[in-house]
Amino acid sequence: MSFPKDFAWGAATAAYQIEGGAGEDGRGPSIWDTYAHNKKIDLLRNRMNILNGDTGDTACDHYHRYKEDVQHMKEMGLLAYRFSISWSRILPEGRGKVNEKGLKFYSDLVDELIAAGIEPYITLFHWDLPQALQDIGGWLNPEMPDLFGKYVKVVVDALSDRVTYWMTLNEPQCHIIIGHIDGECAPKQRVTDRQGFYLIHSILKAHGKAVRIIRKYAVKKPQIGIAPNPSAYYPSTDRKEDVQAAKKMAFGITSRNFWCSTWWLDPIFLGCYPEDGIHIFGDDFPLEMIKPGDMEMISEPIDFLGCNFYQGTEIRADKSGEPVIVPRKPGFDMTAFKWGVTPQILHYMPNFLYNRYQIPIYITENGLSMADWVSLDGKVHDPQRIDFMQRYLLELKKAIDDGTPVKGYFAWSMMDNYEWSNGYTERFGMIHVDYETQKRTLKDSAYWYHDVIKSNGKSLLIE
């Protein structure tokens, strides 16, 4: 039952969700500061941008408590930790003058992790664009790929003597679609479909630019990836027809939909946008946005594909083999966030993605929010998190047994944190955070995960 040798057992977080220290040591504001601090009722949605008007000003105060947090990670036995860097902590204006204190924070964090025997995995962009760059047009500004490259160079110069693993972007789909097309996250834009494609093209170019910079300047030989959230599907049964139908659904575009994974992954791994999607959007796909050299930059080779997987949609084949969505039955297993419990996605999606793109895979996020609290005995009992992770990890092992190179698994999240538009109302952590006192309590799942890691997955087997 054991997982591959050197499997990266980890947990993940993101800067704005845990750091706090929002106005400290020269950090500039990001679009999430602006969005969270706007507490007016959004009349289109009849709610504040963030539930309760919560902001990330203090969050888990990780900026001041990172040493304690690294000790907790060590206690959990983590071998790897994925965290993101706040662009506006490094470059308060998004470009120009470097904030040395901001860089020092991450440099100290990396030292602390290495001293604890934990491998750092860095995400360079997890949605918190410097506000100063939004003010000049954000991702629609044609300079953005270069500006991202310059920021990445500063980080690589400071940390690549100790850091090997780099991810350019976290879930560009969520950032672009929810933030710019649906207008339900920062920077709260509602652009046209044509502009939507300009945004996709721009952020993918920024990815490619970053890959070139890391490859060129990194001191330690880098392993470079990206962490998108591919739309996830799984077959009703193991029958060949159902599996093929689920795969077809995962990579086909049959409606005007930006979430289809091929919009995001084909350019990176195949060097082109998907023909079926271009056909469907017709004149709304701005072919003229693609300039000579763009696709080469976007498809600059990378070393791994990180995937954030939470829930998926069940698919079966109809009589002619075409995919049909199987609706969820009443009472379907749900997390506190009302996301479905669909462990099969960790078996099938890595297989589908490896089959199409031939690239090693990491699960860069997986987990759930539950209604956890500190019990009278002082502990946090979260049996459903344990059961969820066990189910998902057992499915992931099937992908590995099928021959798909899965290199690691990062639980979302290392600790409870700021869940974007839902503020502090969702608890995703394996460590409980009391936001009043900032007291951390390892949940039962943290001790359980410790044993999973220690046994390299053997303890997942149910006796």
- Which residue type, as a one-letter code, is found at position 462? I
Q: Which is nearer to ligand PNW, 3 or 87 (CB)?
A: 87
262-to-118, 307, 315, 443 alpha-carbon distances in Å: 33, 14, 18, 38
Active site residue: 19, 112, 314, 365, which one?
Answer: 365
Stretch that binds ligand PNW, among 93-101, 169-177, 293-301, 397-405 (CB under 6 A): 169-177
Cα separation, 245 vs 199, in Å, equals 30
Q: Which is nearer to ligand PNW, 17 or 445 (CB)?
A: 17
DSSP-derived pairing of the beta strands 8-12 and 406-412: parallel
Instruction: Single out the catalytic residue among 19, 112, 171, 419.
Output: 171
Using the rule CB under 6 A, give the single segment among 47-55, 139-147, 170-178, 286-294 that binds ligand PNW: 170-178
Which residue of 10, 419, 430, 450 would you call a contact of ligand PNW, by CB under 6 A? 419
Residue 143 near residue 203, CB atoms below 8 Å: no
Q: Could you give the 3-state DSSP secondary structure of residue 42?
A: strand
| Residue 360 beta carbon to ligand PNW: minimum distance, rounded to whole angstroms | 20
Residue 341 engages ligand PNW in binding (rule: CB under 6 A): no
Binding of ligand PNW by 14 (CB under 6 A)? yes
Does position 197 interact with ligand PNW (CB under 6 A)? The reply is no
Is residue 275 flagged as an active site residue? no
Residue 308 found at the interface with ligand PNW (CB under 6 A): yes
Residue 51 binds ligand PNW (CB under 6 A) = no
Nearest distance from C-beta of residue 185 to ligand PNW, angstroms? 9
Among 140, 174, 270, 359, binds ligand PNW (CB under 6 A): 174
Dist. CA 312–CA 224, nearest whole Å: 26
Give the Cα separation of 253 and 323 in Å (integer): 12
What DSSP string describes 370-429? ------TTS-B--HHHHHHHHHHHHHHHHHHHTT--EEEEEEE-SS----GGGGGG----
Count of residues in contact with ligand PNW, rule CB under 6 A: 12
**Is residue 365 flagged as an active site residue?**
yes
Name which of 269 and 310 has its Cβ closer to ligand PNW: 310
Rg (CA), the chain: 21
Tokens of 368: 């759930």
Residues that bind ligand PNW (CB under 6 A): 14, 17, 170-171, 174, 229, 308, 310, 365, 412, 419, 428
